[in-house]
Amino acid sequence: MKSPTKTSESTAPSDSEVHEYWNGLLKPYKGAIDRKAWFQLLTTAGLLAVNWFLMFKSLEVSYWLTLALAIPAIGFQLRLFIFLHDCSHGCFFESRRLNNIVGFLIGVVTLTPFAYWRRTHAIHHGTSGDLDRRGFGDVRTLTVAEYKARPRKARIGYWIYRHPLVLLGFGPFYQFVLKQRLPLDIPRSWKKEWSSVLWTNLFIAATLLLAWQLVGLGKFALVQLPIVLLSGSAGIWLFYIQHQFEDTYWREHEEWDFHRAGIEGSSLYDLPSFLHWFTGNIGFHHVHHLASMIPNYRLQNCYEQVSELHKVTKLSIVESLRCGRLHLWDEAEDHLISFRRFRQQYGSQTVATQSAPAADEPTLATRKRDLAGVSKSGQSR
């Protein structure tokens, strides 16, 4: 595992100097190339449609064959979601309107309300690694102090939440099938986002009605559910490993820095070429966090040509699996630790009450208030 070079706090340049530096390096790679976007979209959607048809026909032979055919379909679905992701940043197509239309339609296929996801994901970009602004678009992470301050039931609840069977098993069903149908974690004032939720749900309902008439809901579910749930698991794993590694970056808001969060708090997932294709190059995640206006089809080229981007935490598939055992941010040691390491290091130390503000993660009400303007700033890098 290769760690990025840490910048000394006392000798750090000004924010404007850092922004100009990175903008100068990455600006040539920003911006959409429509012909590449159309080629990616049409080929991937076409391959998914053919794959889906083969899965449907295979139901007459064996459901095991159907599940085997689901493997490439999961990859195509995941790749489509990366296109939605680029549309949310406004960098897949040159046209903003086209990004919104394509993003919405892919959102129907992936059960993701586009405007809702676009705003919460922009908040993620504007707050990633900020201990005081957690809660939107991230994997819930407690500090050691917060975990120690919680009563036993709350600690058990957090342990369950971080368990791989929950995070990657039940998590995709909850996130894509349930939560995104009625996302109660967003304010009522987000009119555009609530409208997106409503229209996406209506289109999903229309799709189910059409499927009922054409193939029957039972057969449709046998084909579609494995694709949705397993691609969801793969997507959540990718998102997890992009920020949840041992020497990642977390700071309190006063000390938080956007560029350090991008280069130190995002990994490079060192995947085989065919997996980079299926995952839309999102493994070059530090590049994406430094400049979200670089579309997926330019990320790898940017990484290869800008040597400054090579100083990053690089994770192989084997190394990434070890990161699944990391659960708590240790502010004293400045890295993520496992529950086992917590027990070894801190034993049964707990705080009797939850009243200490320093040991509390932000509440939902606090997040809604503090993040009111973050979504716009996170979108423009």
Instruction: Give mean pLDDT, residues 185-206.
Output: 96
pLDDT at 356: 40
Contact in structure between 264 and 248 (CB atoms under 8 Å): yes
Residue 359 has pLDDT above 60, yes or no: no
Q: Show Cβ contacts of residue 202 under 8 Å, excluding neighbours closer than 6 positions.
A: none
pLDDT at 364 over 90: no
Structure tokens that stand for 54 in this block: 């083969």
Torsion of CA 10, 25, 98, 101, to 10 degrees: -40
pLDDT of residue 16: 81
Q: Rounded to 5 degrees, what are φ and ψ at 336?
A: -80, 145
- Residue 138 above 80 pLDDT? yes
pLDDT, one tens digit per residue, over 29-47 is: 999 999 999 999 999 999 9
> Is pLDDT above 70 for 224?
yes
Helix orientation angle between 296-305 and 34-58, rounded to the nearest 10 degrees: 120
Q: What is the pLDDT of residue 372?
A: 54
Asked if 249 and 265 touch (Cβ cutoff 8 Å), the reply is yes
Does residue 292 belong to any structural domain of this protein?
A: yes
> In which element (H, E) is residue 336 found?
strand 335-337
Upper half-sphere CA count for residue 269 (Cβ side, 13 Å): 26
pLDDT band for position 358 (cuts 50, 70, 90) = very low
Q: Find the range with the poorest average confidence among 105-114, 273-282, 351-360.
A: 351-360
Residue 323 falls inside a structural domain: no
Containing structural domain, residue 120: 23-140+166-317
Please report whether residue 195 resides in a domain: yes
Residue 8 is assigned to a structural domain of this protein: no
Centroid of chain to Cα 123: 12
Tell me if 359 is assigned to some domain: no
What amino acid occupies position 300? Q
Mean pLDDT on 167-180: 94
> Which SS3 state, helix, strand or coil, does residue 375 take?
helix
Domain count, the chain: 1
Residue 347 confidence (pLDDT): 77
Contact (Cβ atoms closer than 8 angstroms) between residue 94 and residue 34: yes
Classify residue 231: in a domain, yes or no: yes
**End-to-end alpha-carbon separation of the chain, Å?**
28
Rounded percentage of the chain residues whose pLDDT exceeds 70: 88
How much is the average pLDDT of 99-120? 97
Residue appearing with tokens 């368990």? 163
Asked if residue 287 has pLDDT above 80, the reply is yes
Average pLDDT taken over every residue of the chain: 90
- Per-residue pLDDT tens digits for 53-92: 999 999 999 999 999 999 999 999 999 999 999 999 999 9
Distances (CA, A) of 106 to 123, 236, 296: 21, 17, 16
Confidence grade of residue 185 (pLDDT, cut at 50, 70, 90): confident
Task: Name the more confident of 137 and 285.
Answer: 285
Q: What is the mean pLDDT of residues 266-278?
A: 97
- The DSSP secondary-structure symbol of 268 reads E
Residues pairing with 330 in the sheet: 335
pLDDT at 295: 98
329, part of any domain: no
| More confident site: 189 or 362 | 189
Q: How confident is the model over 277-292, as a mean pLDDT?
A: 97
> Tell me: the pLDDT tens digits for 253-264?
999 999 999 999
The mean pLDDT value for 133-160 works out to: 92
Does residue 18 sit within a domain?
no
Query: What per-residue confidence (pLDDT) applies to 346?
Result: 85
Q: Please report which residue ranges of the chain form alpha helices under DSSP H.
A: 15-26, 34-58, 63-88, 96-109, 114-127, 144-149, 152-162, 164, 171-172, 191-214, 217-243, 258-264, 273-278, 285-290, 296-305, 317-323, 339-346, 364-370, 374-379
Q: pLDDT band at residue 18, thresholds of 50, 70 and 90?
A: confident
- Of 320, 176, 191, 199, nearest to 248 (Cα)? 320
